[in-house]
Chains A and B, each alone.
Chain A
Amino acid sequence: MPAAGVVLIIAVLLIVLALVYYLVSTIFALRQITSGLDEAITGVGGIIEKSAPVADVVKDINANLDAGVDLLEGLLVKKAGLVDSVGRVEGLYPGAAAEGLRNFPDSKTVKPPRISEVYTKGTLTLARLGREAPIAVASPAGPVLRNVEGGSLDARSLYPEARQTRPEKLARSPIIGTGAPVQYPPSEQRGGTTPDEAEIREKGEWAETAAEGIVPAELGGSDAPPDMLADDPQLGSSALGETTGSDEPATESGIDPSGGDEADATSDGGPESPEEGVEPDLKDAGSPPRQVDTDDRS
């Protein structure tokens, strides 16, 4: 066989080997593709089967929700009016008023009033219902406004946080007493003695107020200059009295504080005791003697 024939045979064999290799590899790849497509078709079949009833169910859900929206929109407009309704929607969902209410085309042209989170009219209506509605009385859980204090705090929290958080630098109430920035001389004092430091310590801070007096003369107190007083003051010094300026008792015997310790309500007051040996009636317990009886006795 000539050399050229041998080379030809070898070339043909190489071509056949290449064909076999690549075609067999292609067959394996196509089988893998077929297997994958089978899995994909199974999955898609499941999707189709499972999603078949979705459309009807969703349509029914949407129909029910539409009915609810229609109901609530109608109720809102009926009770609050179209303008307030649009304002309320705008207050809760800024920008929503531009779309208007679905069943009220005119609402798109309404200029929404500025209604914040708290709708005063609605709050008042609910408060009125809480007090007056028969259901509030018959509710087994108690009145509608069960916790007035808590309810008030809840409502307050809806407003801006300027007051209820009570910042430290919030203006304080006016100061009275010896520590007050404005001091008034005790030019007016009626009755009793001017409390000194020992008495203030003993009685407490409230006694300081008495030390300052009641009405300063420069503000028109009863000891103010005559031109500041009325022509005929209703209460002069003779009626109001004045302090003695001394701690000496006003009477010879003075006040005996031990008298209170010896007081006996069972002997010094109460109703007339029944005769000896008679059982007292319960209805007479605690009732004082009549004024006429006391006057007659004296």
Chain B
Amino acid sequence: MTLWWIGDVLLIVVVLPVVVYLLKGVLDAARSIVPSVDRIAAAAQAGSRDLDAVPLLLTTQAQVKQTVEVVAGYGGSLDVIVDDAEEE
């Protein structure tokens, strides 16, 4: 009978707190991940929205090409009408 009581005491005083402590640690860790994941998801969605303007790069690409062509034409005209620098 004494062994029964010793087992009961060990179960209640040692095993139960250890089990509770470990399970609570797992639960706290899992719960701490949730807000982090939510922030990651929000950041990813915001980044995706920011990249909605990427197709405008195609317009920029075309305009840069046109601008450089105009500059080239203007430079060619200047090359003709402005004298070269004198060689020193």
Contacts and interface: CB of A to CB of B under 8 A. Distances in A.
A57 B20 CA distance: 58
Contacts of B78: 75, 79
7 contacts: A2-B4, A8-B4, A22-B24, A36-B41, A43-B47, A58-B57, A79-B78
A27 B30 CA distance: 9
B30 A81 contact: no
Nearest to B5: A4
Contacts of A5: 4
Nearest to A44: B44
Interface residues of B, number: 52
B45 A11 contact: no
Interface string B22-44: 01101100110110011011011
Contacts of A39: 41, 44-45
A47 B51 contact: yes
Contact of B40 (A15, A36, A75, A80): A36
A72 interface: yes
Interface of B: 1, 4-5, 7-8, 11-12, 15-16, 19-20, 23-24, 26-27, 30-31, 33-34, 37-38, 40-41, 43-48, 51-52, 54, 57-58, 60-61, 64-65, 67-68, 71-72, 75, 78-79, 81-86, 88
B31 A54 contact: no
A interface majority secondary structure: helix
A46 B41 contact: no
Chain B CB within 10 Å — which of A15, A58, A133 has the most? A15
A42 B12 CA distance: 47
B71 A43 contact: no
A23 B19 CA distance: 11
A26 B80 CA distance: 79
Interface stretch (A62-70, A112-120, A219-227, A241-249): A62-70
Contacts of B19: 15, 18-19
Contacts, number: 162
Contacts of B12: 7, 11, 14
A42 B44 contact: yes
B27 A81 contact: no
For the complex of A and B, 5 pairs with smallest distance between CB atoms? A43-B44, A22-B23, A36-B37, A46-B48, A4-B4
A277 to B, nearest CB: 69
A77 B81 CA distance: 15
A46 B71 CA distance: 37
B27 A80 contact: no
B38 to A, nearest CB: 5
A64 B23 contact: no
A37 interface: yes
B30 A50 contact: no
Contacts of A83: 88
A47 B49 CA distance: 8
A78 B85 contact: yes
B3 to A, nearest CB: 9
B82 A129 contact: yes
Given A36-B41, A40-B41, A64 B64 contact: yes
Contacts of A54: 54, 57
Nearest to A75: B75
A21 B60 CA distance: 58
Given A65-B64, A84-B85, A11 B79 contact: no
